[in-house]
Structure 1
């Protein structure tokens, strides 16, 4: 069923809104050029929510209601401006926008304070990548009565049918889609009728993961608060058939046997020339032939003679009266047989002999009109077919064959057809041996991969984009027959982007599986810690024997809400290396391994020193390390922080240990107290003083077998020296 309500009222498109509301302080709208896209993430919370920090505080989790995201078009409206602009506003009744924060669109979500939000418009500095690199988080304080509104604008291009041009759709906030109808009465709508469909200004007509049509109802996938504006343009060539089969579909016109397989969607007025047919003139002899005689029709008679009118329709000179296709009472003196063959991208089945009427008109061997043309033989191959109507899986066609014995054959027939084929993507892991590892971490998923079908090898002309589910299977699409080039444009989380271009041929009536494989991202951790002693420390001190606890959490979020599923204990070697292998492991769980070699997987790791070497101080800190995919899905990146909330993360370069640890020496604080030898007190007798006594401090160097001077300390008036 549709969303909660639909109401016809005035709407504005994204471009109309921007034109009226862009602040000239940041840009002047001179033109609309789409530079890329950005993500909006509206979050709905209770009316007493004051900020995102307030919402995500552990004690306030009940304030959360719902959230969603979508991509919106990012426009370059002014080449002289330093900003791109985007419409990012949600229309929510009985609600208040509490906070709008911009950040980099990745897992770390570094804040971008120079992105401006004003009056429903985001101003994004052009220094940032326009390819969905920026995310705008919008927090709304809502009530139980709050609802999301979506504006729908329709450009019908004078297409036949009854359409709504402006519509406001109201949906519940917790819904996962927006549904609406743009047709009235008996007007029907199908995929082929939609020329353009923009969601938040971004063209999505070829992306069937975002929208669908079911019984003329348009369904937009996504949380309603993230679907702000929908703009639809109908195709000019669309011929919409109203509910209930048309008169010609139920007429006695003969349906030829077999199914014609079109590599494209057949079009009304399309002409097909078939040169390989067997046409025969029988004169007055009709015995044993299939077919029927045509009935009387006033409309056809007004055209002159019925048989000539049919030929005129086949030649495109006039249109057929589709509501008056009664039988004609004219003798069928000609027949045609069509052998199985392929014409262009149309596969025609073998069709046994069927009857045609005689038409006194000149049609030449090229199947075109030629006045006075006549082949004296009784048989002249060829058949011109003009599609004059379509409904369901049937086409109504007018046929005419070349003139032989002064007459051309003509007839009206229905043919059954199917157009194009279907295709889907099936993704599997390229490394079955690694599946045991990826199953340990729910971050790894085959869902969300996007593959785009292109017409050309260079992958410049896109047709449609499909999205995989958690089983790695995409939605099935219907395409014209032909060869396509399929390329992954977004990798699923935890897997490397598939850079291969897959060539696939789709044939009419077939469903083709595009089998693809993705390699999971694994990280070759070589060293957990690189341990050294601070500069100036005793050269006799050794880093050997330091011990570290290493834990793994299958999350990239707050680990305080997660449990470690692996714990290991490692010891440093003579050189201070704590390697991620069995040689340095002293206890704990089995290491992650791929093909018997230690490996790291995506997630969060903690490192903590549990035992310091002799003479060196224990480090009380816990180090947090994240291994995550980069934004392009081409490799892993490693970062560390000293905070569980991962503030101020530092990137770890390739080849480096997860943590460079500098051991600090144990410090000895020497305190000296001088006292009177007789009184044993720190107060001098008479005119004596305890101040100014000098003591030299030495340390014994066992390698040199001698004392080494450290420093002189001097007592104060109280006899103390430090």
Structure 2
């Protein structure tokens, strides 16, 4: 018994005396719910000597009379019975952590379900705090309940696992739960023109080029800004080298996996054969794509100009070395010319183009010649 008026608390099972006008309440350990199988009853005994008295006891939101007494000098003892039904409550507590760093995660929300599939929600837990903690007290209606994540803070993937938890009346059951950070993949594509055919006539050859993906382009990847993980750890400082020598393969692409979300710069360091490297840079931001997206996919495409050849001829008098106009010269294939796929598109000794020298004795061929 807790005597609110005097501030004293009796020992369990002790006899107590309560005077008129005393405010008090009764308490028992939560484990009592198991010990008494749900209900407990007792008889309160007391004497009242005033002309008119009323005693009441509060049970939750209701109030019941203990006794009503009329008359002077009443010595007859009065009795009242009351019954207590103990609430079977248990507490669930979770601690949310980053799966990789083990740091606490704030803002994650879990639901308590009666079924493993997460279809029957019992209650939604408060969002985890700065320590990654959240707790809820529920009435035990079944031995085992299931914890499933409802929402996560930005940067993390939703944990789809159902955690089965066995409830203990009057006690707290703790469960550690983790989230994986959303990662990204960056693919670099290289495009450039290659020889794919030729139109051969009696007057010459017109070469055909097609833009295709290119093997052998080399790139460096840098942090365009501080790269920070979801738990706040700085992974790369701005301008730090993330990957050197990223090289396109046979399909003309190169992929960098397991990147943290953030802003990156891709710089071309070397172009494939017969293409011009200008040292071009491209910036890309790999942003959070939602809690159900396993991996963020990003890409950049670089296009290089094809190296070209210019061929010219001069007509000159053998004796005076004076440049002569009107000389006609033919340009011929010195070897079989093959397309990128190895097909011969122009045979050896085929006339490619004719050119006539001008007043300056110079003739320039206009054919878009492939580089060997």
TM-score normalized by structure 1? 0.34
Match in the other structure for 2:309 = 668
Match in the other structure for 1:466 = 126
- How many angstroms apart in 2 are the aligned matches of 1:708 and 1:532? 30
Q: Give CA deviations for 1:383-408 in whole Å, capped at 9, x if unaligned.
A: 65389xxxxxxxxxxxxxxxxxxxxx
Match in the other structure for 1:258 = 28
Match in the other structure for 1:298 = 52
Q: Report the 3-state secondary structure (helix = DSSP H, G, I; strand = E; otherwise coil) of the residue aligned with 1:550.
A: strand
- How many angstroms apart in 2 are the aligned matches of 1:318 and 1:494? 52
Q: 2:335 aligns with which of 692, 701, 709?
A: 701
Q: Deviation at 1:631?
A: 1.9
Is 1:480–1:506's contact at 8 Å kept on the other side of the alignment?
no
TM-score normalized by structure 2? 0.58
Is 2:190–2:248's contact at 8 Å kept on the other side of the alignment?
no
- How many angstroms apart in 1 are the aligned matches of 2:95 and 2:334? 72
Structure 1's 386 and 422: CA in aligned 2 closer, same or farther, altered over 3 A?
closer
Structure 1's 467 and 624: CA in aligned 2 closer, same or farther, altered over 3 A?
same
Is 1:626–1:640's contact at 8 Å kept on the other side of the alignment?
no
Q: Deviation at 1:501?
A: 2.7
Match in the other structure for 2:83 = 385
1 or 2, which has the higher strand percentage?
A: 2
Is 1:481–1:505's contact at 8 Å kept on the other side of the alignment?
no
1 or 2, which has the higher helix percentage?
A: 1
Match in the other structure for 1:493 = 154
Is 2:125–2:135's contact at 8 Å kept on the other side of the alignment?
no
Q: Report the 3-state secondary structure (helix = DSSP H, G, I; strand = E; otherwise coil) of the residue aligned with 1:512.
A: strand
> Structure 1: any 5+ residue segments left out of the alignment?
1-244, 264-271, 280-289, 301-305, 333-356, 360-382, 388-416, 440-444, 582-597, 642-658, 685-689
Is 1:459–1:485's contact at 8 Å kept on the other side of the alignment?
no
Q: Deviation at 1:635?
A: 1.1
Structure 1's 297 and 261: CA in aligned 2 closer, same or farther, altered over 3 A?
farther
Greater relative contact order (Cα 8 A, min sep 6): structure 1 or 2?
Answer: 2
Q: Give CA deviations for 1:527-585 in whole Å, capped at 9, x if unaligned.
A: 8545565232699xx966543212245159xxxx961343432264773667569xxxx
Q: 1:450 aligns with which of 109, 127, 132?
A: 109
Q: Report the 3-state secondary structure (helix = DSSP H, G, I; strand = E; otherwise coil) of the residue aligned with 2:105.
A: coil
Is 1:450–1:491's contact at 8 Å kept on the other side of the alignment?
yes
Match in the other structure for 2:135 = 476
Residue correspondence of structure 1 range 237-256 to structure 2 within 5 A: 251-252=21-22, 255-256=25-26
Structure 1's 386 and 329: CA in aligned 2 closer, same or farther, altered over 3 A?
farther
- How many angstroms apart in 2 are the aligned matches of 1:562 and 1:249? 74
Structure 1's 521 and 331: CA in aligned 2 closer, same or farther, altered over 3 A?
same
Corresponding pairs, count:
305
Is 2:220–2:246's contact at 8 Å kept on the other side of the alignment?
no
Residue correspondence of structure 1 range 398-413 to structure 2 within 5 A: none
Q: Deviation at 1:605?
A: 3.4
- How many angstroms apart in 2 are the aligned matches of 1:249 and 1:500? 58
Match in the other structure for 2:4 = none
Q: Deviation at 1:426?
A: 0.9
Q: Give CA deviations for 1:196-220 in whole Å, capped at 9, x if unaligned.
A: xxxxxxxxxxxxxxxxxxxxxxxxx
Structure 1's 620 and 576: CA in aligned 2 closer, same or farther, altered over 3 A?
farther
Q: Deviation at 1:666?
A: 0.7
Q: Which protein shows a greater Rg?
A: 2
Q: Deviation at 1:256?
A: 4.7
Q: 2:95 aligns with which of 426, 434, 442?
A: 426
Q: Deviation at 1:476?
A: 3.4
- How many angstroms apart in 1 are the aligned matches of 2:167 and 2:92? 7
Q: 1:549 aligns with which of 201, 220, 227?
A: 220
Match in the other structure for 2:205 = none
Q: Report the 3-state secondary structure (helix = DSSP H, G, I; strand = E; otherwise coil) of the residue aligned with 2:334.
A: strand
Q: Give CA deviations for 1:145-192 in whole Å, capped at 9, x if unaligned.
A: xxxxxxxxxxxxxxxxxxxxxxxxxxxxxxxxxxxxxxxxxxxxxxxx
Q: Deviation at 1:428?
A: 2.6
Structure 1's 278 and 569: CA in aligned 2 closer, same or farther, altered over 3 A?
closer
Residue correspondence of structure 1 range 509-528 to structure 2 within 5 A: 509-523=170-184, 528=187
Match in the other structure for 1:711 = 353
Is 1:570 the counterpart of 2:275 in the alignment?
no
Is 1:636 the counterpart of 2:277 in the alignment?
no
Structure 1's 318 and 453: CA in aligned 2 closer, same or farther, altered over 3 A?
closer
Is 2:183–2:296's contact at 8 Å kept on the other side of the alignment?
no
- How many angstroms apart in 1 are the aligned matches of 2:286 and 2:31? 51
Structure 1's 468 and 255: CA in aligned 2 closer, same or farther, altered over 3 A?
closer
Is 2:41–2:84's contact at 8 Å kept on the other side of the alignment?
no
- How many angstroms apart in 2 are the aligned matches of 1:259 and 1:624? 64
- How many angstroms apart in 1 are the aligned matches of 2:179 and 2:276? 46
- How many angstroms apart in 1 are the aligned matches of 2:95 and 2:30? 29
Match in the other structure for 2:233 = none
> Structure 2: any 5+ residue segments left out of the alignment?
1-6, 8-17, 198-208, 230-235, 338-343, 367-372
Q: Deviation at 1:519?
A: 2.7
Is 1:262–1:419's contact at 8 Å kept on the other side of the alignment?
no
